[in-house]
Chain A
Amino acid sequence: MISAYYFGSIALIMIGLYTVLVKKNLLKILVGLSIMETGVNLLLISIGYISGRSAPILSEGVGPNQAVDPIPQALVLTAIVIGVATTAMALSVAILLYKKYGTLNIEEIRRLRG
């Protein structure tokens, strides 16, 4: 039996994957990608969590032995920034596609060329 936190993040990944696989609108597919990314980030953070410990900022009452694993958090900090960058790129490609074909439906775009 897996933890509820793992289950929630896996559910987010699955919802995002379903959106990517089934939806026709390009913007909805990008929203699905973002949801998937959120699920992966939550999964990494929850793997790094240790019961009863505090955030890895060493201050009064939080020594090195009372803090959670800082490495997944640093990793997710990187992943969020990269996610923003790729989303911006994908959105500008979507703007270009809409300008060229006048639609965001991927099936119609596919039918128009090749």
Chain B
Amino acid sequence: MVSVLKRAIAIAFILIIGYWIASALSHVPFGADKMLVGNYYLQHVENQTGAINAVTAIVVNYRGFDTLGEVTVLFIASTGVAALLWERKRKRTARTEGTIVLTTGTRLLFPFILLFGSYIFIHGHLTPGGGFPGGATIATGFLLMYLAFTTYRIPHRGFEVSEGLAGMGYVIVGLIGLAVGGYFLFDWIWQTWKIGTVGNLVSGGFIPVIYTLIAIKVGTELSGIVDNMLREGSS
């Protein structure tokens, strides 16, 4: 039973906060050109990175170090979920097998979901998307497998190894940049070799390479989180 007083206090509180945010935003005109750094990125993105998608160019190239930290946060979260839910004997607790519609549909759709996820992350420098949505799409495929088959488990060892190798590959790409160009995560593929033409699949410097690594890492980590949440202790 929630008391009326508590609700009233909460409503007054959120109204104050809402008014405060709104009054701050009243000085920020909607739809006006407020770009400062963004304009520089838009003008130079094709020349400096070889990508035409400015968002992924910023995420991977201009602010690649930030993205390395983001991948680390995701890794810590997946490790934390595994550590919190760890028990010695665990098994799937789902009792009911999926219906024939679900199992047949999953068998049919699973390779195509993986294919679509791969399409998203390989074309990250050309179309909306990139490594994070692509990896999440791949993890969705594994989630579907878990829902359809009660005995299904992801290959744990292989997933952990590929996750670690992908994370290491990101750092190695950055270290090659340090050796070639003088700073960490220097885009050696585009700035030194100029591989590919702008707008084609083979372009964008190391953005497709890093996004492939990120997608492998995100896909395996999110599948691991799903696996950890769907298995419970025997107690």
Q: Residues of A with Cβ closer than 8 Å to B?
A: 1-3, 5-7, 10-11, 13-14, 17-18, 21-22, 24, 43, 46-51, 55-59, 64-65, 67, 69-71, 73-74, 77-78, 80-82, 84-86, 88-89, 91-93, 95-96, 99
Does B14 make an interface contact (CB < 8 A)? yes
- Choose one: A17, A67, A99; the contact of B42 (CB below 8 Å): A67
> What 0/1 readout, one digit per residue, does chain B (25-67) give for beta carbons within 8 Å of chain A?
1101011111101110111011000001111001100010011
Q: How far is the CB of B1 from chain A (nearest CB, A)?
A: 10
B128 close to A71 (CB less than 8 A): no
The docked-state distance in angstroms from the alpha carbon of A57 to that of B51 is 9
Q: How far is the CB of B93 from chain A (nearest CB, A)?
A: 12
B73 close to A82 (CB less than 8 A): yes
Q: How far is the CB of B30 from chain A (nearest CB, A)?
A: 4
A57 close to B21 (CB less than 8 A): no
Chain A residues near B128 (CB, 8 Å)? 55, 57
B52 close to A6 (CB less than 8 A): no
A96 close to B85 (CB less than 8 A): yes
Count A-B contacts at CB 8 Å: 150
Chain A residues near B42 (CB, 8 Å)? 56, 58, 64-65, 67, 70
B66 close to A78 (CB less than 8 A): yes
The docked-state distance in angstroms from the alpha carbon of A93 to that of B41 is 41
B58 close to A71 (CB less than 8 A): yes
Q: How far is the CB of B107 from chain A (nearest CB, A)?
A: 27
B18 close to A71 (CB less than 8 A): no
Chain B residues near A77 (CB, 8 Å)? 55, 59, 130, 132
B7 close to A22 (CB less than 8 A): yes
A71 close to B38 (CB less than 8 A): yes
A81 close to B85 (CB less than 8 A): no
Q: Which one of B74-82, B108-116, B182-190 is at the A interface?
A: B74-82
B127 close to A57 (CB less than 8 A): yes
B77 close to A58 (CB less than 8 A): no
B14 close to A14 (CB less than 8 A): yes
Chain A residues near B35 (CB, 8 Å)? 50, 69, 71
The docked-state distance in angstroms from the alpha carbon of A39 to that of B22 is 13
The docked-state distance in angstroms from the alpha carbon of A47 to that of B34 is 9
Does B98 make an interface contact (CB < 8 A)? no
Chain A residues near B85 (CB, 8 Å)? 92, 95-96
| CB<8 Å pairs between A and B, sample of 9 | A6-B28, A48-B38, A49-B31, A50-B35, A51-B31, A57-B128, A58-B46, A71-B38, A92-B85
Chain A residues near B81 (CB, 8 Å)? 88-89, 92
The docked-state distance in angstroms from the alpha carbon of A22 to that of B130 is 38
A70 close to B18 (CB less than 8 A): no
Chain B residues near A10 (CB, 8 Å)? 18, 21-22, 25
Does B177 make an interface contact (CB < 8 A)? no
Chain A residues near B84 (CB, 8 Å)? 89, 92-93, 95-96
Does B228 make an interface contact (CB < 8 A)? yes
The docked-state distance in angstroms from the alpha carbon of A36 to that of B54 is 27
Does B199 make an interface contact (CB < 8 A)? yes
A85 close to B77 (CB less than 8 A): yes
